């Protein structure tokens, strides 16, 4: 049985943390591929990233970096086992939780894009659709149907 690899991202190109460079980023995966020249790390097999109250889980997680700072994280799941994102937001009564077949976290823009069976819970409200964009700074959600129109936008708001 493969042993899970526990890593603290101390690689030169990954020295900057996702949100707070004072908090270490812990990574778990079965397989790790690091290409410092490309600024890309790929974590495969029940991968997980944890930094403080941020958690991202997926079958595969790709971390992109430039100039020793992480710029983007892509978490790839499946229809049966989607990628998962969870983070505490100071202006929300509960954690923001999201799942989708693909989650793209643009670090500089503080934007989380969910694609394929996207579902997001914000406070006591929930949103789903083909694609969801969550702007962390503006606390704004934009939901759209899937390209083929099979996944329409749905939401439930508790007032």
Structure pTM?
0.81
Name the token pair of 21. 């460079």
Q: Angle 38-27-119 (CA atoms, 0-180°, nearest 5)?
A: 95
Q: Note the pLDDT of residue 159.
A: 55
pLDDT-above-90 percentage for the chain: 43
Q: Is 111 left (phi over 0), alpha (psi -120 to 50) or beta?
A: beta
Q: What is the mean pLDDT of the segment spanning 133-155? A: 74
Please tell me what DSSP assigns to residue 147. T
| C-alpha distances out from residue 77 to 51, 59, 82, 116, 156, Å | 20, 5, 4, 10, 25
């Amino acid at each position: 049985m493969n042993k899970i690899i526990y890593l603290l991202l101390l690689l030169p190109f990954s020295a900057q943390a996702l949100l707070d460079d004072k908090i270490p980023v812990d990574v778990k995966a079965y397989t790790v591929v690091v290409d410092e020249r490309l600024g890309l790390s790929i974590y495969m097999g029940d991968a997980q990233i944890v930094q403080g109250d941020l958690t991202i889980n997926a079958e595969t997680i790709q971390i992109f970096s430039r100039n020793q700072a992480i710029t983007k994280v892509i978490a790839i799941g499946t229809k049966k086992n989607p990628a998962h994102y969870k983070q505490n937001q100071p202006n929300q009564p509960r954690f923001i939780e999201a799942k989708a077949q693909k989650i793209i976290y643009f670090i500089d823009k503080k934007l989380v894009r969910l694609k394929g069976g996207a579902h997001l819970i914000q406070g006591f409200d929930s949103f789903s659709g083909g694609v969801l964009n969550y702007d962390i700074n503006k606390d704004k959600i934009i939901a759209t149907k899937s390209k083929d129109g099979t996944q329409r936008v749905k939401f439930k708001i508790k007032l």
